[in-house]
Structure formats: structure tokens, C-alpha cells
Structure 1
């Protein structure tokens, strides 16, 4: 069975009624997977909380301390996009370490999936775009620090460029960053990943899938990573509120099949996070995120 990582704190955050972030999607996806027999309870692992001392190895110690103690400025909080609360702190610490746990499980079994993660807009000294600490870079750093691997590919297919990840990893040659994103989208000021594949607005399935296949195949050939950390954002979908691409349900499923099968055929463990996805209809959003789990079950179960 495929190892899955989830914690109940992920959706335990009270937000204003008209807030743009679908915070309940994590719990709804967890229930959707069980209800549609895409997973069973015994597959799930609970992470421990990331410790501030660990986060200070990749983020500004002052920023970490200010966030944990509710001392961030109102400007910094607005940039993050969430009002501060104890629940926000708890879910953040669990979720960040959840991605690291997912990578550890992937190294053991070949694949693991986190029902959260993809906080790629978090920079060294500030959070942005609903991202507080960068779980993708944190997981990669922990793997290297603990000498579990030698080099890592962060393959980011969220519709928004992974600017925080690119900036954090810019001086870490063992961490290869690649972002396939919509060019005319947030963030307005892009950073330089090791490899950026910027797509025009309204790119269709064929254009998108060709880019994903060629990019991942090239990156594996050039770098032979010990593990792939895959951000499987579904905000590429044509009906996503924040996406601007024209990817269909079928195209989304084919992307998951493509990425997972390339990793599998290359013998490289893959740790996936669900990344972004924005829809007020919880069932539609769960259906989109579930394509990753369907593809994984077909290939790895």
C-alpha cells in the first residue's frame, strides 16, 4: 500500500467567510479518499511538528521567532494572507514536517503522498501567498543534513512559480529546482529556478503535457536525483479560480500518470504534495486532487 501523510490540524483554521483559501480541502480530501475507496485508514501516517530550531536552519531566526510568538507586523501577516492564531501555528508546524516525513517514506517504498504541502512562496525572511515556511526546501534540507541522499530534484508543477523555493535553494547545488508554471500569474516578480518553464495563459493539455514530459525526462538525465519532491498543484485546471491555464480533467490525470511513471521507470523515489487548488466547490476540488492518488494506485499499489 502507498504511504500517505495527513494530520487533522490541516483544516482546523477559522477564516473569514469570504476568505479566498479553501482551508477545509484537506479534511474533505481525506474523507473523499476513504469514501471512494482510494485509500484506507491504515495507509495514513501522522507527522510530528517541525521544531523552530529546525526551521531556523533554513529561515531567518528572527522571522521564525516572530511567527511562533505572534510578533509579526500587520504588513507581514497581510503578505502571508492568513490571520495569526494558535491553530495557524499548529497546522503550519505539522504540515511543514509532514512533507519531510513524506520524503522519508518515499525513500523506503518508492512513493509517498502528503495531503498538504507545496508552500513554495515562503522566502528566507518572510511568508507570502498563503505560505509561511517552505516545506519543499525544508524537506530537501533535512534529507541532506541527515545524509539520507546526495541530490534532490524539486519538480514544481503548481500553476504559480515556486519563487521562494528558487530563492532559498539558489546557493544549494545539491537541490535542483524546476518550476512549470503560468507566466502571467502570481508572483509578479519571479525568481530564477535552476530550470523555469513558463507557459502562456490558456495553454492546453497537449502543450502542457509535452512540456512536463520533456522537462522531467531532461532533468533526470542531467542530474540523476536520488529523490524527486513533486508539487502536484491542481490549480492548472481550467476551472481553477487562480489558474489561467486550460487543462482539462483528463489532462490533469495524464500529468499525474506521466510524472509518476517517469519516476518509477527511472527507479527514483518520488514524494508528492498536493499543492495549490482553489475552488469553492469542495467536491470538485477533491476530485481534482484525487487524480494524483488514482494514478499512484494504478502504478504503485
Structure 2
């Protein structure tokens, strides 16, 4: 059965200027239920991530600041969110959800988190709407419990996975692959194990050609036994922050290709939602929903 991490707290109440991009977290499960792609049985609510797991990935000083709600004004601005206890709880549930998804993926082949992809969170700071790095936390969990030996992070969000790259620098059991907009945020890019920087307005044909060239080669060379897939839909031409030129159909084909390559090699996949900031909320929800539709039809 397809298992999807979801908690109402994912739709965190924010001041007016922040509400729009957060609405997708409640609308997406509603759409999947309405159209019959999923039932209530597909969804589960994560618990709070334990402190020991946070400290495996993030610095004690940084976690203490989050716990005490004592980020400086500059640190808070960098995250893009006003800091609150509910926001910290949200991040803890998101990261635990990605760990939980790992177990479901090991059993069923795939699992998804309606949130996550918090790839701008570093060991010692938050950035870009990310406080705790769910992929970093879950990758460490798998390695520490001998549930995976060689992990591949496939980050196809339009923004480079800078925090994940920093966290995994020097960890040769985790290979970070980021395909992102060359001129997009973050201004300073970290060094992933493989970075592919795309020009503005890169279209479906160009994007998919690069992905089809690189991903199978990586999978064959690494002999990976687990994949974390950052499936952001901010690659769309309609995205306010994206700068690329992809269509919803092209984004769907991207997801299909990732799943197909994983299935060929019987590699479990955990998907984290990532970004999406198109003008029309319906475009964001439709593009994200395609990822879940494909997972349901291709695996079950």
C-alpha cells in the first residue's frame, strides 16, 4: 500500500504574506482523496522527531536556539519564517515523517512525504523556508541502523540542495546529485557530489535529456540501495521563483523517469515534496499530485 506522511500542522498558520505557498500542504491531500487516487488509509501522521536524531545531523548550539526560540533577527530572516514553537514542531514532524517513509519504501518500494525536501537547512543554520534537513536526518538514520549502505540523493528542485550538500560533505556513503537553476537561489552554491546547473528557460526537452543522460549512469556506477528524491515543482515555467521553462507534462515525465530507473534496479525511493510557487495554486497542486498519481499507478 502507498503510504504518505501527512499532518495538519504541515499547513502552518503564518502571517498574510506567507500563507499562499503553504496552502498546497492541505490542498494536495484533499485533491488526492477527492479524485480517488488515495484513501484515508494511505495517509499516516508522523510523531515528533527525537532530539537524538536532530543532534545526529544538526549542531547542538543551533538546535538549542530553535528549541528556546532564540534565533537572532538576522537568522530568522534567513529562514523566511517567523520563528514559533509550532513551526519547530512542524519541522520535527516533517523530518520524522521522512524517516517513517523510509520503512514504508523498504517494504513497498516507494513512500512520499507531503512536506519535506528541506534541503536548505545546514548543520548549524536554517535558510530558505528550511529549519531541519529531513533528507539529511533520514539518511543518517538509515546508515546508523544499517538499513542502507549507499544512498543517492536526487534533488530536482529548481534550487540547489546546498544544506544537504554541506551536511553530507565527506560522507562517502551518501552521494548528493543536484540539478538546479544556475542563476537561482542560493547565490552561493555548495559543492554537491554532482551539480548540474541549468540555464534560465531550460525547457522539457533539454531538462529531460540531461536527466536521462546522468541518472542511469549514476545509479549504475554507485550501486545505490536507497534513493531520496526531492521532487520540487518549482521547475515549472509558471513558477514565480523558478526561472526554468518546464511544463506540467514535462515535470510529470521527470517523475516517471526517476521512478522507472529506481524500479529497474529495485531501489526503494522516498519522495519529499520540495518547492512550488506558481501564480496559480491549481498548477502547484496539479504538478505535485502527478508525483503521487505516478507512485500509486506504477508501484501498486
TM range (shorter): over 0.9
Structure 2 partner of 1:155: 154
**2: CA distance between counterparts of 1:135 and 1:18?**
25
Which segment is superposed worse, 44-53 or 225-234? 44-53
Question: How do residues 20-35 of structure 1 correspond to structure 2 at under 5 angstroms?
Answer: 22-35=21-34
Structure 1 partner of 2:2: 2
Structure 2 partner of 1:243: 242
1:264 aligns with 2:224: no
**Native 8 Å contact 2:238 2:279 kept in 1:** no
**1: CA distance between counterparts of 2:133 and 2:61?**
16
Structure 2 partner of 1:284: 283
Shift of 1:14: 2.3
The SS at the match of 1:19 is: helix
The SS at the match of 1:161 is: coil
Cα deviation per residue 1:48-92 (whole Å; 9 max; x = unaligned)? Answer: 111222211111101001101101111111101100112101111
TM-score where L is the length of structure 2: 0.97
Q: Are residues 21 and 58 of structure 1, via their aligned partners in 2, closer, same or farther at CA, if it must alter by over 3 Å?
A: farther
Shift of 1:247: 0.3
**Native 8 Å contact 1:28 1:282 kept in 2:** no
Q: CA RMSD in A?
A: 1.2
**Native 8 Å contact 1:153 1:178 kept in 2:** yes
**1: CA distance between counterparts of 2:115 and 2:97?**
8
Structure 2 partner of 1:138: 137
What runs of 5+ residues in structure 1 fail to find an aligned partner?
none
**Native 8 Å contact 1:161 1:181 kept in 2:** yes
**Native 8 Å contact 1:241 1:278 kept in 2:** yes
Cα deviation per residue 1:233-267 (whole Å; 9 max; x = unaligned)? Answer: 00001101111000011101111111101101111
**2: CA distance between counterparts of 1:120 and 1:155?**
11
Structure 1 partner of 2:109: 110
Structure 1 partner of 2:128: 129
**2: CA distance between counterparts of 1:77 and 1:87?**
15
Q: Are residues 94 and 228 of structure 1, via their aligned partners in 2, closer, same or farther at CA, if it must alter by over 3 Å?
A: same
Cα deviation per residue 1:112-134 (whole Å; 9 max; x = unaligned)? Answer: 11111100011111000001011
Cα deviation per residue 1:150-196 (whole Å; 9 max; x = unaligned)? Answer: 11001000000001101110111100100010101000000100001
**2: CA distance between counterparts of 1:149 and 1:110?**
14
**1: CA distance between counterparts of 2:35 and 2:77?**
37
**1: CA distance between counterparts of 2:229 and 2:191?**
18
Question: How do residues 1-301 of structure 1 correspond to structure 2 at under 5 angstroms?
Answer: 1-11=1-11, 13-19=12-18, 22-301=21-300
**2: CA distance between counterparts of 1:108 and 1:220?**
20
**Native 8 Å contact 1:52 1:65 kept in 2:** no
Shift of 1:148: 1.0
**Native 8 Å contact 1:236 1:247 kept in 2:** yes
Shift of 1:18: 2.0
Shift of 1:280: 4.8
**1: CA distance between counterparts of 2:16 and 2:279?**
11
Shift of 1:45: 1.7
**2: CA distance between counterparts of 1:194 and 1:39?**
36
The SS at the match of 2:56 is: coil
